Structure 1
Amino acid sequence: MRINDLIIKETPDFVVLNKPAGMLTIPDRHDNQLQSLQGLLKKHYGEIFTVHRLDKDTSGIILFAKNETAHKYYSQLFESRHVKKFYMGLVNGQLLTPSGSVDEPIMEHPVQKGKMVTNKKGKASLTDYEVVEAFGLYSLVKLQIHTGRTHQIRVHMKHIGHPIAVDELYGTNAPIFLSAIKKNYKLGKNTEEERPLLSRLALHAWQLHFADQQGVEYVIEAPLPKDIQAVVTQLRKNSGRSSELVL
């Protein structure tokens, strides 16, 4: 994978990339340097500083600092919540309320390692959501997180009964197939088995809004990746509506 293919915006102080789903932000305990975005960036730049993270299966926008001064600035910017973070997610089902907030503290699961739960003893966590398009089976939702808890969006969407699609921890890991969306679906003549449209977590870091050290305002966006867009396109097609919102 070429790092230049992932770069959306670069300045002397920071680089913003569109992280592919399935890639670690930083090396895991097995120290898979070159299988992480940080590892690839270190190979490319020599020195790089991690500011925030995305889950392995979440795609989309992520910012790294290129020097220590920028690292300190952007780390503080994220910690003080002066960065607006918007996501796009496909959730299961149709929400009764088209927009709202989930204000539920989050803590580690008392038994299952690596899993989080809503609990009044947890850390304050706030997520705003707005339904962009509803298709019955699934809804395309815009999400803004005001806090940066582990798995925050996934936990909060589960809490309101609409987990992110293809989420094995908080919903179901069942992939999305065209046959579940399209009526009278038939396999092609030479096709023995249907391939899924989407087989990973349907969550994408869509936009970052922030100001740099010079006060320049940025709104940086990563369009929906092909796999999530393919599902949205088929949902539109088979709900009898025209293609209207291509993100």
Structure 2
Amino acid sequence: MEKMEHIVLEEQVGERIDKVLSTINAEWSRTQVQQWIKDGHVLVNEKNVKTNYKCSLNDAISILIPEPEELDVIPEEMNLEIYYEDHDVIVVNKPKGMVVHPAPGHMTGTLVNGLMAHCKDLSGINGVLRPGIVHRIDKDTSGLLMVAKNDLAHESLVNQLVAKTVTRKYRAIVHGNIQHDYGTIDAPIARDPKDRQSMTVVDNGKKAVTHFHVLERFTDFTYVECQLETGRTHQIRVHMKYIGFPLAGDPKYGPRKTLDIGGQALHAGVLGFNHPRTNEYLEFEAPLPEYYEVLLNKLRRE
């Protein structure tokens, strides 16, 4: 088990412990934290507490994070669109509607299921549910992903993501008409304390930076290219909503009345990185999916 420690800050005084812990790490859900507390994995000043314990200033919280449940992932034959593959890495174009990796209750039909049928040698660093996965894109976002086939490649690709040297460019259609041609959104992101299933911009969130420029303007929408400097969960979707231009079709962050396209109009079109073994820079570009081209042509006609 991994151990983490946290000292209660002034702004956290009086808050329930389950709420405090679920806000210090965006990957932890409140339900998950409550279970850890009930199982005795969370101590406050070296004592067990209940989930409704109210925190005091300088409380020393220690968290023993349990190992993820080991589950079998079934290889499934799929017609994957592989853009590049060698002994170290795979670059794959994920279609809209496909989940990247399995999760309890959703164990089939994911990109990982397809990758495991395609090749047996994927990095084990992220565990059995996420073999080879170093970054991910949302279910309804299409586009390019890099996958590690061994631990050397995995560590190199993760280090490049941390160092912000990976090129990741997305095409997005957003509501509204952006007047300026270029912009940078520098606003920290964390899990929304009012809605644990969503992310939002908050002062104590993790640093998040998105650069964008306008490609085309329509009557009620704008077509933009976004380049990620960081890679927070739902980053482009959250950032564009934050500046008042939410993604078209986005059921979570978009307006109630949006385009009926089965999810956000977002495509990870360009991916570039240094090869983990040769250090050669590789860059790949995936064309827009057919539905996206149809949508753009419709907006142009209107």
Unpaired segments ≥5 residues, structure 1: 177-195, 239-247
- Runs of 4+ aligned structure 1 residues displaced above 6 Å come to none
User: Cα RMSD between the aligned structures?
Assistant: 1.6
2:110 maps to which of 36, 45, 52: 36
Letter in 1 for 2:91: V
Kindly provide the amino acid, as one letter, of the partner of residue 189 in structure 2.
I
Are 1:222 and 2:286 matched, yes or no? yes
Determine whether 1:113 maps to 2:196: yes
Q: Please point out which of 200, 211, 228 is paired with 2:274.
A: 211
- Contact kept in structure 2, 1:167 and 1:173, CA below 8 Å: no
SS of 1:26's partner is coil
Q: How far does residue 4 in structure 1 lie from its aligned partner after superposition?
A: 4.8
Matched, 1:20 2:95: yes
Tell me the percent identity: 36
**Paired residue for 2:177?**
94
- CA displacement at 1:174 relative to structure 2: 4.7
**CA distance, structure 1, for counterparts of residue 106 and residue 150 of structure 2:** 23
Match of 1:136 in 2: 219
Q: CA deviation at 1:228?
A: 1.0
The separation in 2 between residues aligned to 1:13 and 1:67, in whole angstroms, is 6
SS in 1 for 2:271: strand
- Rounded to whole Å, the distance in 1 between the matches of 2:209 and 2:146 is 21
| 2:133 matches 1:59 | no
2: CA distance, partners of 1:29 / 1:69: 28
Question: Which residue of 176, 187, 200 corresponds with 2:263?
Answer: 200
- Tell me if the contact between 1:166 and 1:173 (Cα under 8 Å) persists in the aligned partners: no
Distance in 2 (alpha carbons) for counterparts of 1:201 and 1:63: 21
Task: Tell me the matched-pair count.
Answer: 217
Change (3 A) 1:174 1:57: farther
Shift in CA distance, 13/52, structure 1 to aligned 2, threshold 3 Å: same
Does residue 9 of the first structure (1) align with residue 84 of the second (2)?
yes
In the alignment, residue 92 of structure 2 is paired with which amino acid? L
Structure 2 gaps, min length 5: 1-75, 123-131
1:88 and 1:140 in contact (8 A); partners too: yes
Return the offset for 1:31. 4.2
User: Secondary structure at the residue paired with 1:148?
Assistant: coil
Using the TM superposition, give the Cα deviation of residue 120 of structure 1 relative to its aligned residue in structure 2, in angstroms. 1.3
Superposition deviation, residue 104 in structure 1:
0.5
1:21-53 residue CA offsets vs partner (Å, 9 max, x unmatched) = 111111122141x31101110122123211111
Q: Relative to structure 1, is the Cα distance of residues 2 and 141 closer, same or farther in structure 2, using a 3 angstrom cutoff?
A: farther
Alignment-mate amino acid for residue 83 of structure 2 = I
Letter in 2 for 1:30: G
Displacement of 1:172 in angstroms is 3.0
What is the DSSP-based 3-state SS (H/G/I as helix, E as strand, rest coil) of the residue aligned with 1:18? strand
Q: What amino acid is aligned across from residue 175 of structure 2 in structure 1? A: N
Structure 2 residue matching 1:207: 3-state secondary structure: strand
1:235, 1:167 → 2: CA distance? 17
TM-score normalised by structure 2 residue count: 0.68
Mapped partners of 1:5, 1:92: distance in 2: 32
- Does structure 2 conserve the Cα–Cα contact (< 8 Å) formed by 1:103 and 1:125? yes
Cα distance change, pair 44–134 in 1 and its aligned pair in 2 (3 A): same
